[in-house]
Chain A
């Protein structure tokens, strides 16, 4: 066990993403105040905190959905004041959603294939005629997608419209679609929310497998602490939009401010 952990630790590389002094407010409501943390290559980085702590806002800042008023984001050595969702996707950051945002009317296969869209090069005319390069390209992408389908064990549901699948499986399709982009960083917004214990264990296993086998850096948000502590290398703790803790799961667990935030404290 410890050998495996050492192996994991050995793979973690330099800084790939850094959030520096980010503040975000909606009118008078401060969602994030001066939050800074970094993410290293190949690590599993968790952002935790009670409800309303600003976790999703943080993810949306990285994803480019929200533009922070202050602070910068450094990604692969370049500095951004804010990101743009499309640009983010192109530069290799994929995400999943807390409240599922799958294409409900489309089949599992089609949903995952949309994740390959960015990598498709053939033009509309060739696509429409289904000739030569376009057809070959489609087949190549299909192979990648099939590997992901095998990996996440959803072979049986390829042709099923996503809207008809149970919740736990939909979460898996969401993950599959993000993986199909072959991202450098995968942002997971509460991947275990609303799942039963078995589904949670499955999801944990998949997240670790993705991290190990594809070497994907993972940033995940959870409010369920126990799950996060088991799979994360380092944890950021937010409360009321401020960072109150940052470190390995053990360090965070012993941090008095974190304990207070989660258990409440009498003044």
Chain B
């Protein structure tokens, strides 16, 4: 038996699960596409948060538990600032704040801990998480705030001539997904084609060599944390406008964890693909697997969305620990 067999089996199972509802006629094509689109839109947001994770992990080897807290902090900042100024200005100021935050984290947390064990750095980011959660409340308050993107939340019917009855699409979700996708694409281009992007990739590849050719590690860390901060801000604003800006945002952002396990910790592509898979997977499971469980086992059937991502991540840890696109790590003994 090939050692990849279990992994391939899992992938095939996922694919079968994906097409089964359509193939068995359990779902009308229009409804199926609706669920698929809904999943993809949620998935883009997961990708966005996971991207922040992957960037920081790649460039500084730090497992940044604070990514979720950064999402919440950024969303709070934008929501409260927007009460006093137009939204675009609030977002700009938010970007400045997240950049400053990155600078402070590098100065006060990362630099003193350089060359420490990864677990020490991880604990430090745990500290940053709680600090940001609390400090966010201190500065911005702890109520539920709204971010108005000024778009209609009413779903619209589209493609009525292609599917019977058409499909319902939420316009705001749609725009959000496009913005997120553009951001992801822009970042990918930035990393591939600019000198700074090249330097960041170099740092991600080999710290010592990067230093010897004069790439300033500290500045690169500030840059990745700032980029991760901006990504968190975009995710926070989009999510905040959907769910309201509240504490639970930082929990939703934790979904990025299974996403990076699925995609591979060091892979930007992995973060994107992983986010989409989990977004689509959990929506499909909720909508189509739920009723099956109700029928077959007389269960209540709900809540699949809450655990699906984590169980899938667990399965991946068993069959392919490095994730879809991660580097296989072989230690010399």
Contact = CB atoms under 8 A, between A and B. Distances in A.
Given A127-B194, A127-B195, A128-B190, A103 B201 contact: yes
Nearest to B205: A103
Contacts of A177: 213
15 contacts: A86-B211, A86-B215, A89-B211, A103-B201, A113-B198, A117-B195, A117-B198, A118-B213, A124-B194, A127-B195, A128-B194, A130-B194, A138-B195, A177-B213, A181-B213
Contacts of B196: 124, 127
Interface residues of B, number: 23
Contacts of B201: 103, 105-106, 110
B270 to A, nearest CB: 14
Contacts of A130: 193-194
Nearest to B218: A86
Interface string A97-122: 10001111110001101111110101
Contacts, number: 83
A85 interface: yes
Nearest to B194: A127
Interface string B303-326: 000000000000000000000000
Closest 9 CB pairs of A and B: A89-B214, A101-B209, A103-B205, A118-B214, A127-B194, A85-B211, A114-B202, A120-B195, A103-B202
Contacts of A216: none
Q: Give the one of B190, B195, B197 with max A CB within 10 A.
A: B195
Contacts of A90: 214
Nearest to B186: A128
Nearest to A127: B194
Contact of A117 (B193, B199, B223): B199
Interface of B: 190, 193-199, 201-202, 205-206, 208-217, 223
Contacts of A116: 195
Nearest to A115: B213
Contacts of A141: 195
A94 interface: yes
Contacts of B217: 86
Given A103-B205, A106-B205, A117 B190 contact: no
A104 B202 CA distance: 9
A130 B196 CA distance: 12
Contacts of A128: 190, 194
A63 interface: yes
Nearest to B190: A128
Given A103-B205, A118-B215, A141-B195, 11 more contacts: A63-B212, A86-B211, A94-B213, A103-B206, A113-B195, A113-B198, A115-B213, A117-B198, A117-B202, A120-B195, A124-B223
